[in-house]
Chain A
């Protein structure tokens, strides 16, 4: 049996401060993807790395406290993405044909939403779920080895 590793307090504090920024940043990357480098896959990976950091600093207990079921995340993402595609089918367009909504909001200025952005959000959620699934596998292995809890 392995020795219980000691977690670095400095790393833990840094990660604690960094996590909200990472989460926000990942959403930003996903949403900007339509017009600038980024997108759902990259955004999902950034958010996934936040999960990994939490595992590295807080161990299995840290992941457990997130209370998200990876399967539920994966399913939500997939359903979201598929339903965007199907919606455009219903409106007699090709599968995943984009619809574009624009309106002028009072303070923010011109807002433009493209249906494929929602598709990208689905990809984002799904990728987070997959990363989390992998991390859960590691956390589980830790539990079974009776090591860090």
Chain B
């Protein structure tokens, strides 16, 4: 299993590194990987359904009890088939959708990387494994929403989605950590085997649910999902309808059978799910952009699934999983169809589209079937599963929460039927160009109708993916019996009681069917009576988005103010703060824990050392009194050299060498900087009178000296120095113990230090580059790009790139 995941990430790396050379082959490569995964899953399906699917358990960081735990159970198999199957179709569809572009490597790389991460989520057993893959999907989703990175709106939508799902992910991590520390269980299966209870568990579960809600776009976190439609349509179809937004549902589905009866779980899930169901449904009625209408519909249906899977009874879990499959099929089909329409007509505005049923017959058929499945009209799979859901809710004996769920879902389903018809009719059915502008229409909206005769005919490969998905929606409905049994076996890994559940195409006249009929009738009526208004109305701004933006802007504004307050830009001010803090913190610690005995430092009694110490001190005093920057730099360097001699006499040649070299380079750099500055120090700032500066300096000097003396007395454990000396040669093969400590015993520290150094160096180079770019821009604005060609050509080589 792990090698399959690694194959995804390796393919992602290959596609991404193709850079501008990436082309269609990248999509083919990615499709090959997902198709292979699909094939492997099919080959493993027997074992996985019997409960003997492959498992992987790799120690990752054993010290932190971090490991990668994967297992292929029935549910993981089912979700894996959806992820890899729809992934393959979407990638093949993308070949036609994007045509020839030079950023397909990036697209394919991100998509296949996402597919790998998503498989990780559905196969994960370890809680932290789940979290890692969870965050990976957030990151790839962020990059894919912002794929058209030159559009500011796309970047804003990507950031919004990332912050929301990222915050939710952190909440979930906190929940996982609480669960792990209170029970010691690190995997979902361990938790299910011995479920914890109590207040702390409830807190943890609420946190986990928050994570699931943000990812699955549940109210009040739903607003990022419509924004995510800034992504190219194949991406929206794959991530933001069929797979990624199901990640929250996956977590809920895995937790609910164990924890649904625990504390506030059911109410929490039902309230959030129903709110999403209704809010999404209402907003889908107002959208004129078919893709956005579908996105709001997705929010709505994710709410439905959240309620079903969250209730955690065997019947609702089974119905929820079946509906999840149905939703993945019809929603991907609809998104991909809208993509074809957009591609061939240049618009997704339902006010401009008409007569497409004749112009795009295959698309029209796909949309009709998929919409029928979405509105739960027989004999589609959507109808079969909705029946099961209503049945499960009617039979669920879980008290008031079950009744609320049933009523809410019935109302939401009415909306679902209404907006489904609206979208289908809007895309295909308008005979005449629909709307004339009215009071609700945005003034700058382009409403010119699209001429159906001028619509480009899509190639067969382009429409194959949506058509196949739509046909599957139909076949699964007609073959409800066997499909239902298969899903029952798969769902048994969530809750063994679901193994006896079945799906049927025609249940006979029963309560659920009557309810369904009423829902469809009410939905059609709702669509018909709101039609005059919904044909022209323009979508309003989402209130949640407005509030989010306000919060976000406020946060940035607050950060700017805080920065302006604390970062005055005055170097003396910074130094004053840093040094005062040092003196106060160190000084108070010393006073609190002052040791009685301060022994005098160890002198070597060498006259050289005596002279060197004197010189160091004298030069340091000189630095304070000179007014010339140049003299100060030289005196400081001299003081450093003298100190190096002290090191040498004390028997630390490595230290001395380094001190000499650093001092030399520092002086040179100092002087190079000083050549560009006035020769004398600037006058001291008014806010820091002489006594204050003297006071701070004296305090720092005394504290640091005191600290140095008492630190040598503070040892309570034996020194590790002896061990290092003894181990240096045999363990690390070096006789210079200082060096061996640096590169071996304490090599991690050196690693960190050189990383800091590398970042500083990279920072210097990039500052230079940024300054150069700005100056050049300024020159271009002035119309006098003064750089002669000769200099410009030199800059293309080496450091001057």
B757 contacts chain A at the CB level, 8 A cutoff: yes
> Which A-chain residue is minimally distant from B662 (CB atoms)?
A45
- Please give, as numbers and ranges, the residues of chain B lying within 8 Å of A112 by CB-CB distance: 733
What does the 1/0 interface line of B757-773 toward A look like (CB < 8 Å)?
A: 11011101101100110
Q: Tell me the residues in window 646-671 of chain B with beta carbons closer than 8 Å to chain A beta carbons.
A: 653-654, 656-658, 661-662, 664-665, 668-669
Contact yes or no, A52 B665, CB < 8 A = yes
Bitwise, A111-138 to B at CB < 8 A (1) or not (0) is: 0101011011011001101111110111
Q: Which of B736, B755, B757 contacts A127 (CB 8 A)?
A: B757
Residues of A within 8 A of B653 (CB): 37
Contact A74-B761, Cβ < 8 Å, known A37-B654, A49-B664, A49-B665: yes
Do residues A116 and B734 form an inter-chain contact, with CB atoms below 8 A? yes
Task: Say whether B772 contacts A95, CB under 8 Å.
Answer: no
A64→B654 contact, CB < 8 A: no
Specify which chain A residues have a CB less than 8 angstroms from the CB of B765 in the assembled complex: 70-71, 133, 136-137
Query: What's the least CB distance linking A19 to chain B, in Å?
Result: 16
A81 to B753, CA, bound (A): 12
Partner among A68, A130, A143 whose Cβ is within 8 Å of the Cβ of B757 = A130
Query: Is A81 a contact partner of B751 (Cβ separation < 8 A)?
Result: yes
Q: Check if B732 sits within 8 Å of A136, measured CB to CB.
A: no
Minimum distance in angstroms from A72 CB to a CB of chain B: 9
Q: Is the CB of A133 within 8 A of B764?
A: yes
When the two chains form their complex, are residues A40 and B799 in contact, meaning their CB atoms are under 8 A apart?
no
- With contacts A126-B757, A140-B768 taken as known, whether A70 is within 8 angstroms of B799 at the C-beta atoms is yes
- With an 8 A cutoff between CB atoms, is B608 at the interface? no
- Cβ contact within 8 Å between A36 and B665: no
Given known A36-B736, A42-B658, contact A132–B665 (CB-CB < 8 A): no
Question: Total interface residues on A, using CB and 8 Å?
Answer: 61
Q: In the bound complex, what is the Cα–Cα distance between A98 and B742 (angstroms)?
A: 12
Mark A11-34 against chain B: 1 for CB-CB distance below 8 A, else 0. Answer: 000000000000000000100011
Contacts A67-B799, A69-B801, A123-B754 given; does A46 touch B762 at CB 8 Å: no
Task: Knowing A127-B757, A136-B799 are in contact, say whether A97-B668 is a contact too (CB < 8 A).
Answer: no
Nearest CB on A from B390, distance (A): 55
A82-B799 contact in complex given A37-B653, A119-B743, A134-B669, C-beta closer than 8 Å:
no
CB pair A96–B736 under 8 Å, yes or no, is no
User: Which listed residue, B731, B734, B767, B794, touches A34 by the CB 8 Å rule?
Assistant: B734
- Chain A nearest CB from B792 CB (Å) reads 11
Judging by beta carbons under 8 Å apart, are A120 and B743 in contact?
yes
How many Å from the CB of B771 to the closest CB on chain A? Answer: 8
Q: Does B740 contact A (CB under 8 A)?
A: yes
- What's the minimum C-beta distance from A30 to chain B, rounded to whole angstroms? 10
Closest CB in chain B relative to A36 CB, distance in Å: 6
Chain B hits for A131, CB < 8 A: 665
Using Cβ atoms and an 8 Å threshold, which residues of chain A touch B665? 45, 48-49, 52, 131
Contacting residues, chain A, for B760 (C-beta < 8 A): 130
A143 CA / B748 CA spacing, docked (Å): 40
What chain B residues lie within 8 Å of A133 (beta carbons)?
Answer: 761-762, 764-765
Contact B754 A81 (CB under 8 A): yes
**B758 & A137 in contact (Cβ 8 Å cutoff):** no
- B624 contacts A by Cβ under 8 Å: no
Which chain B residue has the least Cβ–Cβ distance from A36? B736
CB-CB nearest in chain A for B760: A130
Q: Indicate whether B517 reaches chain A with its CB closer than 8 angstroms.
A: no
**Alpha-carbon distance A48/B755, docked complex (angstroms):** 18
A78→B801 CA distance, assembly (Å): 21
Q: Is the CB of B772 within 8 A of A140?
A: yes
Residues of B694-721 whose CB lies within 8 A of A: none
Q: Which of B668, B733, B751 neighbours the largest number of chain A CB atoms within 10 Å of its CB?
A: B733
Closest to A67 in B: B798
B744 at the interface (CB under 8 A from A): yes
Q: Is A8 on the interface with B (CB-CB < 8 A)?
A: no
Q: A36-B735, A63-B799, A69-B801 are in contact. Are A137 and B747 (CB under 8 A)?
A: no
B565 at the A interface (CB under 8 A): no
Assess whether A82 is in contact with B751, with CB atoms less than 8 Å apart: yes
Query: How far is it, in angstroms, between the C-alpha of A98 and the C-alpha of B732 when the chains are bound?
Result: 6
Among A41, A82, A140, chain B packs the most CB atoms within 10 A around the CB of A41
B772:A144 contact, CB within 8 angstroms? yes
| B contact residues around A97 at 8 Å (CB) | 744
Known: A34-B734, A37-B654, A64-B799. A126 touches B758 (CB 8 A): yes
**B287–chain A nearest beta-carbon distance, Å:** 47
Contacts A74-B758, A130-B760; is A119 near B747 (CB within 8 Å)?
Answer: yes
The answer to whether B734 and A68 touch across the interface, beta carbons within 8 angstroms, is no
B732→A116 contact, CB < 8 A? yes
State whether A126 touches B754 (Cβ < 8 A). Answer: yes
CB within 8 Å of A: which B768-787 residues: 768, 771-772, 775
Q: Is the CB of B754 within 8 A of A77?
A: yes
Provide the bound-state CA to CA distance between A132 and B736, in Å: 28
Q: A69-91 interface mask toward B, CB cutoff 8 Å, 1 = contact, 0 = none?
A: 11100110110011001000000
Residues of chain B from 407 to 448 with CB closer than 8 A to chain A in the complex: none
Q: Is B750 part of the contact surface with A, judged by Cβ < 8 Å? A: yes
In the complex, which residue of chain A has the Cβ closest to the Cβ of B676?
A141
- Residues A134 and B764 in contact, CB atoms below 8 Å apart: yes
Specify which chain B residues have a CB less than 8 angstroms from the CB of A70 in the assembled complex. 761, 765, 799
Contact of A96 with B744 in the complex, beta carbons under 8 Å: yes
Using an 8 Å CB-CB cutoff, how does the interface string of A57-69 with B read, 1 for contact, 0 for none? Answer: 0000001101111
Q: Interface on B for A, CB 8 Å cutoff?
A: 653-654, 656-658, 661-662, 664-665, 668-669, 672, 676, 731-736, 738-740, 742-744, 747-748, 750-751, 754-755, 757-758, 760-762, 764-765, 767-768, 771-772, 775, 791, 794, 797-801
Other contacts beyond A45-B661, A134-B761, A144-B775: 4, CB < 8 A: A45-B665, A77-B758, A95-B748, A116-B740
28 pairs, CB–CB < 8 Å, chain A vs chain B: A34-B733, A34-B739, A39-B736, A41-B742, A45-B661, A64-B797, A64-B800, A66-B798, A67-B798, A68-B798, A68-B799, A70-B761, A70-B799, A71-B765, A81-B754, A98-B732, A116-B747, A117-B743, A119-B747, A120-B739, A122-B754, A123-B743, A123-B750, A126-B761, A136-B764, A137-B764, A137-B768, A138-B672
In the A-B complex, the 7 residue pairs with the closest CB atoms: A96-B747, A67-B798, A130-B761, A37-B653, A34-B734, A45-B661, A116-B743
